[in-house]
Structure 1
């Protein structure tokens, strides 16, 4: 909790809100800067900066058609975003719709990404 923290003439809370590093929270009786903070947060959200950019990107991210990818050689399967998938040759990739499909096909879960 920051409340009203300053560094020289810089009001730390406004800087954090303005740059998208935090979300405002006001607790009475500390409501002096509530309007200013809300205005800064609204502007930051509209500009998709800081944590708001992350949330916007996540909301717009499409889910893959096949969330699990197996390797024919190792007989292991991974989440589509696992680093091991990037190292896999295309000809060795096997695509699965579900974790259960991969296990039924005889594949074991990757120990790194733990699908």
Structure 2
């Protein structure tokens, strides 16, 4: 299910932070996507698309891998910055593996949230 960003398009400060982290990661590496997640302890993890000959990870999969390898056992929210019109199914499933109800903010490269996947 998708819907518009929070009331009036304004995000909570914590959610703005993960969108900014995702955008910064993408810009820094000029990757296809940048992503960030916030775990249930409030820690944040950012990553970008990994496209190597031997394997591929979406940016959200990479951010979640970083969180899990650091001991996170749940997520509060996730953000992905992409030019794509939808969040990749593999990315949504990776979030849902840890957090069935966490919002996923999809933002354009300028950082404007285009949708919230719930």
TM-score (norm 2): 0.26
Give the number of the structure whose alpha-carbon radius of gyration is greater. Answer: 1
**Which protein is richer in strand relative to its size?**
2
Question: What is the TM-score with the length of structure 1 in the denominator?
Answer: 0.26
Which is bigger in relative contact order (C-alpha 8 A, separation at least 6)?
Answer: 2
